[in-house]
């Protein structure tokens, strides 16, 4: 954990030791924040001191989510939109990263940085995630509140599994999504294209 861990936690009313799940992103319907809210209630029953830190959202969206979370007794802590430069500090301050998307086919850009974070990723088992994430490098779960809560509880409760998943994510980032890997794949594609275009 970086030096910002305790400072970020203190700023948002979290203790240095409580388990923290982090979501970063927009509040669009497909992002699955309703699913995360429901899952957080089930997670709290298993991990009573858990906090789910939500970074992002327009002010009206944040206000609405906070009101729903408060009414339900969900352990959500909303920060609103933060400057991109702060996001690594939030990652440092958490124990697990979550992407609860319920729809879509494009991979969220944040997944590529999540892979290098040293934190385990729990994500819904949908194409939007599985075209990049593997079962070794993440915990993939059905897009239901029970399954999401179970996946989060598992990595929060099992330090060895959390470490193993985070290490596999780092290896995946290094082998498939590094700059060198990208350049190598691009060179291969150009070579094949040029060979196909040569006469004869």
pTM score, two decimals?
0.87
What's the average model confidence in pLDDT over 51-70? 97
The mean pLDDT of the chain is: 91
Question: DSSP string spanning 146-159?
Answer: HHHHHHHHHHHH-H
Tens digits of per-residue pLDDT, 109-137?
Answer: 899 989 999 999 999 999 999 999 999 99
* pLDDT for 86: 92
For residue 152, give the nearest of 13, 7, 37, 15 by alpha carbon: 37
How far apart are the C-alpha atoms of 166 and 77, rounded to whole Å? 24
Tell me the sheet residues that pair with 21: 52, 96
pLDDT band of residue 180 (cuts 50, 70, 90) is low
Confidence check: pLDDT of 67 > 60? yes
Question: Can you tell me whether residue 194 is helix, strand or coil?
Answer: helix
């Amino acid at each position: 954990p970086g030096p910002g861990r305790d400072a970020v936690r203190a700023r948002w009313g979290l203790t240095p030791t409580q388990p923290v799940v982090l979501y970063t992103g927009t509040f669009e319907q497909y992002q699955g924040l309703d699913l995360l809210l429901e899952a957080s209630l089930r997670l709290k029953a298993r991990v009573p001191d858990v906090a789910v830190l939500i970074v992002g959202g327009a002010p009206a969206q944040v206000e609405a989510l906070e009101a729903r979370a408060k009414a339900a007794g969900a352990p959500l802590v909303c920060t609103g939109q933060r400057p991109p430069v702060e996001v690594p500090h939030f990652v440092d301050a958490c124990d697990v990263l979550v992407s609860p998307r319920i729809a879509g086919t494009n991979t969220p850009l944040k997944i590529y940085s999540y892979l290098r974070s040293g934190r385990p990723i729990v994500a819904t088992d949908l194409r939007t995630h599985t075209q990049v994430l593997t079962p070794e490098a993440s915990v993939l779960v059905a897009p239901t509140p029970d399954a999401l809560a179970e996946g989060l509880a598992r990595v929060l409760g099992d330090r060895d599994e959390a470490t193993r998943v985070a290490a596999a994510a780092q290896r995946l980032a290094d082998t498939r999504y590094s700059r060198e890997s990208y350049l190598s794949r691009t060179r291969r594609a150009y070579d094949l294209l040029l060979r196909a275009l040569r006469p004869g």
